[in-house]
Structure 1
């Protein structure tokens, strides 16, 4: 049972949110205010030169520059040799974003990089951090990671630079800079910025990271880091956020967003140890990052094995990483340099690395305890370490890790990374409160980088002809629950669901892909305590659209829009369940295919290996490092469990939940 104290805390927070909403509504709305809400596209996972792993990759763009990029301005990035000569720019600006530099080492990196008059600036690890020599940069990366990010000890080490100079003061200075950059670029109604940071605990390289996002300019005095909580102890992050923000500072509101759990070694979502921990998870973590540069975390299906992780869904082979930890980044000069990056067989892969399984287990926990601690909506983001929020376009993707994946290194060392995703919220206007509230109520969806629009409603009063009604959305809001909400139906009712999607319009020179089909994914727990899932195709079909292997241009057509009102044919009011939508686009070429072709290596060609030899020699003649620069371009997808040169971009709505305990008599 949840304690009375916890219930009171939730009541106080709810009252605060209601009062905030009333205050917001009392203000003059934005000129493009929409009562039916509109989609806003953003990125809540962005690193700049204030992050240790960005700076050591010759990336010098700070938080101010990251916000400029998010607004659509061009910036300069390092090439593979560390020279600041690469120009990058979004084709379409974002609507909202947050810079989320690592809380760990904000102070030491400031000491190491900002002021040569400080003694700590000349500490050898600092000199290596600033070096343009690639080997020294790699050694610096190993130093910082082993010091306080990937270790298993609760007593994390402080850098000796902090003995030579005041790292606490430096951390405060960097944190104030981040807040200032966020304030400088906030344009109410046009571009929303949030103060944020990343909590970075990764014991044995198992990713337990969270992005901490504040509602407004009322924030904690310093970021709460893994130094404050110790390893394997992210629940303490919530405790400290409550003490220092929700209860410790007037008007302070905050959430923490778990990273994609595919690299967490099964550790991201343990059963809550206490009712308080379960309540904290629900309060502080309304959404999860479903997709980013380091893979997708919806579900997992191994084509070679012919089976998945608690799934038979073949569409779950999308952008999967072969191992289950951050060691997947351990490739240098085309070779994996750590045993920790070895592929993990499907039998050993953590079941709860995949969020669909987490959601299913949540319905089971609710059956056992009366509370589902895993009611999370979905967003995507990039996790860019090159200060490029929203840079998730396959055909406009320069990499995400400074010189570490610039130019040829993108193919050579980061072939299995992807271009990243986007976070989308349904909000009435583009303001901090409107966007933050949308995330809090989970009216959000994730995309793999494109910009389709996706609506999802559930209820017992949805008319079958709603798709043809010009007031479809207004009536859906009046009579149903939007994505992220909870269904309430009577014992004699069966829920209906409205799915409405439109293709990404793209830009005049780069139009978006057509849609192929919309699916509803259902998960539930039966009377015996066994979890299940089922995929229903509710709109569209495979029309045979494909890509031209010579040009990578689309061939054939799909759908500009998809809409359906669907009734669950298998609904059982006694079973806890969830539903979410997955929309698949027609096939398109992966970023790696486009970059291989640009280098003269065609993944579709029978001569691919010979072409790769020629391109590799040309790269080596030009100063590239490593024996096999472009060989991965010629991987045979029939011999790979997940890779294909052609992908289907997609979007995932936040779920709608049904609880058997909430049904009306």
Structure 2
């Protein structure tokens, strides 16, 4: 029955209606409406969804019908269709892997869909279309997991492992499901094939099915109709064994583009000058170069100095130098919590060809000093658990720093991305509990969280 409804021209009227709506509301320079769809591949219940958009308009979009999982549930077939459609119509596309934490070990594998080892050809085809990945959303955060990053004190954030099949299994954390592990795996594959299949930028999205992108903790509108209101969230959502409070109020994508129009936004995705936020609208910039100094952060020079003498987030730093240096700046959401710290996450290949990771605290709010153990003490939690109010009496409105990797070895291939942490603020489930007059612990979720942003990585490949 599904195939019959899908076949022929049965979907054309609906697709053209979507296109016409996007065209009606697209206002270059003011409000950009993109034409796109979701490819909902889920072999065996593992989420391999991709969200696909085009920067082009109705003239090209009406020349094709969206490729769906009924045509094929294999990513390679999707990429082949994108390539063929691009050649036939001239339409450009971006395909964004979605919710990898629920892929059941399938999103970032070391083999292709047929079980063959990833080749340079596979890597090139994947990287042509999948320039960014979704790192955080309502169904959990996919940056990393405590089991995969045991030395990361902030890894335990909005975990969600409810595989979307009726029997309700729980996914065990594996490298193929998480973004940081995939970035590391990409370095290892590149060492063997010469091409990195996981050289992607990082974004966030909502995945809300309510028609509202309300991801603020104090006004979260839920994933769908079964968890759209506080009184419903103690109940199952219908997504595997998840309940309403298992959802996370996230996320959004930020784009550094010279103009607010379709082509400029597409170009930013292509060069990966984008970043993810779990909800707060904080502004974050990051650059890498061989010869930066602290002066490059001066207001009269930054960010022009970053572009002139280095590369922005999403870029490749090549050439020759003793160690890469970084300029990173974050400005808080005007309506949100202050900033706790900025960290830089590094991944590299060791002498044995194995990918490693390390997190560096590079700048933090002024009231604390690094301890003798090398750690920065936790920022104070100002949340009043009875009222849900917090005070921006700690943290910083803005953080910025110049940082050079003190552990870099000449010729090392590595990636670096920034993670910006807010001070603790109430999770939406705390607001719900206060409104409902129940014990917040009954939600089974943390009372407070530290929201965050993730920049796209910068890849360093220096000549020794």
Comparing 410-419 and 434-443, the one that deviates more = 410-419
What's the CA shift string for 1:74-113, capped at 9, x where partnerless?
xxxxxxxxxxxxxxxxxxxxxxxxxxxxxxxxxxxxxxxx
- Counterpart of 1:99? none
Q: CA 1:546–1:404 in structure 2 vs 1: closer, same or farther (change >3 Å)? A: closer
TM-score with structure 2 setting the length: 0.90
Asked if 1:408 corresponds to 2:231, the answer is yes
What's the CA shift string for 1:135-155, capped at 9, x where partnerless?
xxxxxxxxxxxxxxxxxxxxx
- Aligned-residue offset at 1:652: 0.4
Q: 2:102 aligns with which of 251, 254, 263?
A: 263
Q: 2:390 aligns with which of 554, 559, 574?
A: 554
- Counterpart of 2:136? 291
Q: Is the 8 A contact 2:223 2:247 kept in 1?
A: no
Asked if 1:517 corresponds to 2:341, the answer is yes
What's the CA shift string for 1:469-515, capped at 9, x where partnerless?
4221111110010000001131x421100010000002xxxxx1100
- Aligned-residue offset at 1:404: 5.2
CA distance in structure 2 between the partners assigned to 1:519 and 1:236 by the alignment: 38
Q: Is the 8 A contact 2:429 2:447 kept in 1?
A: yes
CA distance in structure 1 between the partners assigned to 2:350 and 2:119 by the alignment: 25
- Counterpart of 2:326? 497
What's the CA shift string for 1:540-583, capped at 9, x where partnerless?
14442431112221143210000000000011133221000000
CA distance in structure 2 between the partners assigned to 1:437 and 1:451 by the alignment: 21
Query: SS at 1:314's partner residue?
Result: coil
CA distance in structure 2 between the partners assigned to 1:195 and 1:204 by the alignment: 29
- What's the RMSD between the two structures over aligned residues? 1.8
Q: Is the 8 A contact 1:293 1:384 kept in 2?
A: yes
Q: Is the 8 A contact 1:311 1:533 kept in 2?
A: no
Would you identify which runs of 4 or more consecutive aligned residues in structure 1 move more than 6 Å?
none
- Aligned-residue offset at 1:461: 1.9
Query: SS at 1:651's partner residue?
Result: strand
Q: Map 1:75-114 to 2 at 5 A.
A: none
What's the CA shift string for 1:242-294, capped at 9, x where partnerless?
112x21113x1011000020000110112354433211111100000101110
Q: Is the 8 A contact 1:461 1:479 kept in 2?
A: yes
Asked if 1:239 corresponds to 2:80, the answer is yes
TM-score with structure 1 setting the length: 0.63
CA distance in structure 2 between the partners assigned to 1:456 and 1:569 by the alignment: 18
CA distance in structure 1 between the partners assigned to 2:411 and 2:329 by the alignment: 28
Query: SS at 2:285's partner residue?
Result: strand
What's the CA shift string for 1:164-209, capped at 9, x where partnerless?
xx85333001100110010011011000111000000112211000
What's the CA shift string for 1:383-407, capped at 9, x where partnerless?
111111x311111112121245444
CA distance in structure 2 between the partners assigned to 1:602 and 1:586 by the alignment: 23
CA distance in structure 2 between the partners assigned to 1:419 and 1:171 by the alignment: 32
Q: 1:277 aligns with which of 107, 122, 135?
A: 122
CA distance in structure 2 between the partners assigned to 1:431 and 1:314 by the alignment: 39
- Counterpart of 1:480? 310
- Counterpart of 1:326? 164
CA distance in structure 2 between the partners assigned to 1:436 and 1:380 by the alignment: 16
Query: SS at 2:89's partner residue?
Result: coil
CA distance in structure 2 between the partners assigned to 1:174 and 1:405 by the alignment: 26
Asked if 1:300 corresponds to 2:159, the answer is no
Query: Unaligned stretches of 5+ in structure 2?
Result: 113-117, 236-242, 366-377
CA distance in structure 2 between the partners assigned to 1:569 and 1:269 by the alignment: 30
Structure whose residues are more often helix by fraction: 1
- Counterpart of 1:424? 254
Q: Map 1:119-158 to 2 at 5 A.
A: 158=2
Query: SS at 1:183's partner residue?
Result: helix
Q: CA 1:226–1:565 in structure 2 vs 1: closer, same or farther (change >3 Å)? A: same
Q: Map 1:393-404 to 2 at 5 A.
A: 393-403=216-226
Query: SS at 1:179's partner residue?
Result: helix
Q: 2:413 aligns with which of 567, 576, 581?
A: 576
Q: Is the 8 A contact 2:144 2:180 kept in 1?
A: yes
- Counterpart of 2:46? 206
Query: SS at 2:21's partner residue?
Result: helix
CA distance in structure 1 between the partners assigned to 2:84 and 2:119 by the alignment: 18
Q: 1:586 aligns with which of 419, 423, 427?
A: 423
Q: CA 1:537–1:310 in structure 2 vs 1: closer, same or farther (change >3 Å)? A: closer
Q: Is the 8 A contact 1:398 1:407 kept in 2?
A: no
Query: SS at 1:176's partner residue?
Result: helix
